[in-house]
């Protein structure tokens, strides 16, 4: 009889097997035990003998099972039929097989992790547990390995400092002085480049801001604030100097009192930010106004008249034109303008003197000898303050000569209040001049929104084509509305006019095709008629038939 040892039950092939009670198993408890990671170092591997691989698959049962449980199997039926294994035994074997496969998978994963992560551990060969040997303390070994592996779980793999052949660590290579100096120079070069780029960006930012401020300063509401009026001290000593300063301060502009190379003058300057530094700088304007006293003006006019009347060059004094030419030569780039205040007072005094002389000549008043002596002294005193006599015509002649020679104009004002108003008006004009010049550059010299240049609308039915044809004819020089209407009445479209030119037999007939058309002007008895003429007829012919786009129509 054959006996088979099985844990927990005894199986026999005797006839009384039907009456035997089957073993009872509790399947609710998991039979798979949690296996721990086991790594054997050299000391453990020497102690455990190598056993048959089949013996390592032996399943350990519970503590209640003993080795005395033996299954008795009859040998009589061994050759004839296979032994019958109950269902409970087969389930037990299947469950034990799954546990063995899970244990092998965990051992293979642990072996890979340890071999990849721990450089100190050697490759341990597969070990087998001999059932006769004392069991290895699996929990103790696995806890040590698990604790060592979990402490390095953050790193993907464990590394070790490289060692030289003699067992010493490799020292980090030090840089040579040349390499250190090259690195320092490279760092300095990069730092200089960064500083240069920062300075360049700052400069561009300042230039952009300065340009924006300059454009803002040109606006009409801001330009007066950036205008500086420079007044000569000699002008302030005259009658209207105080009123002039008060008026300029009321405008909101800046005033400066400085000695000028031009006597009794007023000049202007514009303050604008410098694009490079951003500081406010003054840029002088060329326009300058000079106040000329009446006495000096009359004296220079008289000198001009004497020079014009006498053919011999004599010392007659400086004329107005010569005086202005001397000022312009000493102050190049200046645009001068003269102002004379209350010259009518001089002309009134001249008229009164003429009337007095005429009255004395008519009445013939004569006084005694004593009175004549006193009269002579009084006349001598009056002759000292007496101005030369010049007429209005002589003044106009001198002004025409001045304008032709130098381009300088003279403005006559009645009172000092008018002079103050003229200075304030000129200040506003000088301040707004750049803004107006820029505005004129961007626009056209003619108005496109006017009625004539606004264009002619044409609908789908053709209404408006006659007006388009009429305006095309009016584009020619010296063509009035009546002329265009006369041509339009004879040839309502360009195609009809072109067909008429093709029917002409000679070039002369084509040129004079429109010359005999009548132009009617006015209505009723006041209406008049005239012909188009050969000149306009020839220009229209060239416009319709010429193939040269550069052909001038007027000179043809």
DSSP class of 524: G
Q: Which residues are CB-neighbours of 441 under 8 A, at least 6 positions away? A: none
Together in a domain, 242 and 322: yes
Give residue 424's pLDDT.
Answer: 93
**Model confidence at 31: pLDDT above 70:** no
- Burial label for 207, CB within 10 Å (0-12, 13-18, 19+), is middle
Instruction: Please say whether the dihedral angle defined by the alpha carbons of residues 326, 330, 334 and 340, taken in this order, is positive or negative.
Output: negative
Q: Which has the closest alpha carbon to 544: 533, 529, 556, 526?
A: 556
Together in a domain, 470 and 404: no
Stretch 243-269: mean pLDDT:
90
Stretch 446-453: mean pLDDT:
53
Together in a domain, 412 and 340: yes
160 located within any domain = no
407 located within any domain = yes
Question: From CA 81, how far away is CA 489, in angstroms rounded?
Answer: 135
Give the least confident one: 162-171, 187-196, 277-286, 313-322: 162-171
Question: From CA 287, how far away is CA 334, in angstroms rounded?
Answer: 6
Give the least confident one: 345-359, 416-430, 528-542: 345-359
CB 412 within 8 Å of CB 342: no
Domain that holds residue 279: 218-309+317-364+385-441
Give residue 209's pLDDT.
Answer: 82
Together in a domain, 256 and 331: yes
Give residue 278's pLDDT.
Answer: 63
**Model confidence at 243: pLDDT above 60:** yes
Together in a domain, 291 and 419: yes
DSSP class of 351: H
Residue 531, domain CATH: 1.10.150.670
Total domains in the fold of the chain: 3
How would you write 10-46 as a 3-class SS string? CCCCCHHHHCCCCCCCCCCCCCCCCCCCCCCCHHHHH
> Please, which pLDDT band fits residue 58 given cuts at 50, 70 and 90?
very low
Give residue 365's pLDDT.
Answer: 56
Together in a domain, 483 and 409: no
Together in a domain, 436 and 533: no
> Please, which pLDDT band fits residue 138 given cuts at 50, 70 and 90?
very low
Question: From CA 65, how far away is CA 6, in angstroms rounded?
Answer: 10
Give residue 370's pLDDT.
Answer: 47
**Model confidence at 384: pLDDT above 50:** no
How large a percentage of the chain has pLDDT more than 70?
63
Q: Which has the closest alpha carbon to 253: 33, 55, 504, 427?
A: 427
Together in a domain, 425 and 490: no
Q: In which element (H, E) is residue 110 found?
A: helix 87-117
> Please, which pLDDT band fits residue 458 given cuts at 50, 70 and 90?
confident
More confident residue, 447 or 383: 447
Together in a domain, 391 and 531: no
How large a percentage of the chain has pLDDT more than 90?
28
377 located within any domain = no
Together in a domain, 144 and 8: yes
pTM value is: 0.46
Together in a domain, 235 and 91: no
pLDDT in tens, 326-380: 999 999 989 999 999 989 888 888 877 777 776 777 777 555 444 455 555 555 4
């Amino acid at each position: 009889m054959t006996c088979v040892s099985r844990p927990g039950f005894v199986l026999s092939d005797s006839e009384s097997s039907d009456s035997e009670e089957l073993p009872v198993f509790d399947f609710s408890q998991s039979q798979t035990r949690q296996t721990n990671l086991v790594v054997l170092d050299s000391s453990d591997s020497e102690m455990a003998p190598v056993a048959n691989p089949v013996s390592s698959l032996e399943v350990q049962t519970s503590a209640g099972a003993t080795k005395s449980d033996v299954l008795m199997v009859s040998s009589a039926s061994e050759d004839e039929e296979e032994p019958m294994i109950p269902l409970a035994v087969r389930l037990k074997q299947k469950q034990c097989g799954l546990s063995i496969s899970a244990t092998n998978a965990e051992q293979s994963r642990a072996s890979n992790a340890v071999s990849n992560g721990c450089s100190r551990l050697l490759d341990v060969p597969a070990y087998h547990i001999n059932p006769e040997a004392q069991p290895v303390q699996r929990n103790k070994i696995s806890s040590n390995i698990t604790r060592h592996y979990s402490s390095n779980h953050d790193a993907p793999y464990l590394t070790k400092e490289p060692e030289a052949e003699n067992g010493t660590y490799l020292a980090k290579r030090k840089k040579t002085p040349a390499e250190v100096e090259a690195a320092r120079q490279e760092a300095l070069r990069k730092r200089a480049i960064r500083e240069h780029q920062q300075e360049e960006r700052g400069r561009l930012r300042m230039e952009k801001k300065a340009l924006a401020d300059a454009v803002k300063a040109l606006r009409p509401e801001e330009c007066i604030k950036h205008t500086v009026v420079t007044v000569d001290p000699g002008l302030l000593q005259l009658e209207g100097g105080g009123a002039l300063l008060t008026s300029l301060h009321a405008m909101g502009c800046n005033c400066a009192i400085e000695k000028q190379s031009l006597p009794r003058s007023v000049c202007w300057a514009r303050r604008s930010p410098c694009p490079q530094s951003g500081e406010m700088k003054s840029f002088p304007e060329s326009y300058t106004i000079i106040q000329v006293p009446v006495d000096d003006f009359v004296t220079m006019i008289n000198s001009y008249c004497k020079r014009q009347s006498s053919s011999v060059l004599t010392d007659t004094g400086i004329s107005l034109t010569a005086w202005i030419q001397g000022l312009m030569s000493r102050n190049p780039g200046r645009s001068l303008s003269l102002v004379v205040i209350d010259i009518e007072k001089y002309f009134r005094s001249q008229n009164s003197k003429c009337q007095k002389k005429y009255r004395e000549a008519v009445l013939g008043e004569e006084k005694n000898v004593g009175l004549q002596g006193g009269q002579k002294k009084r006349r001598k005193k009056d002759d000292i303050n007496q101005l030369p006599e010049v007429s209005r015509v002589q003044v106009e002649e001198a002004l025409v000569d001045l304008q032709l020679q130098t381009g300088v104009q003279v403005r006559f004002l009645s009172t000092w209040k008018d002079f103050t108003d003229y200075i304030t008006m000129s200040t506003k004009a000088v301040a707004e001049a750049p803004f107006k010049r820029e505005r004129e550059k961007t626009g056209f010299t003619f108005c496109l929104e006017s009625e004539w240049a606004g264009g002619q609308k044409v609908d789908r039915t053709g209404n408006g084509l006659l007006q388009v044809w009429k305006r095309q004819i009016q584009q020619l020089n010296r063509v009035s509305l009546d002329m265009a209407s006369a041509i339009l009445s004879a040839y309502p479209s360009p195609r009809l006019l072109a067909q008429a030119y093709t029917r002409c037999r000679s070039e002369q007939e084509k040129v004079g095709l429109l010359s005999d058309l009548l132009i009617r002007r006015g209505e009723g008895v006041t209406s008049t008629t005239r012909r188009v003429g050969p000149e306009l007829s020839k220009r229209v012919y060239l416009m319709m038939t010429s193939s040269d786009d550069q052909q001038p129509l007027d000179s043809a």
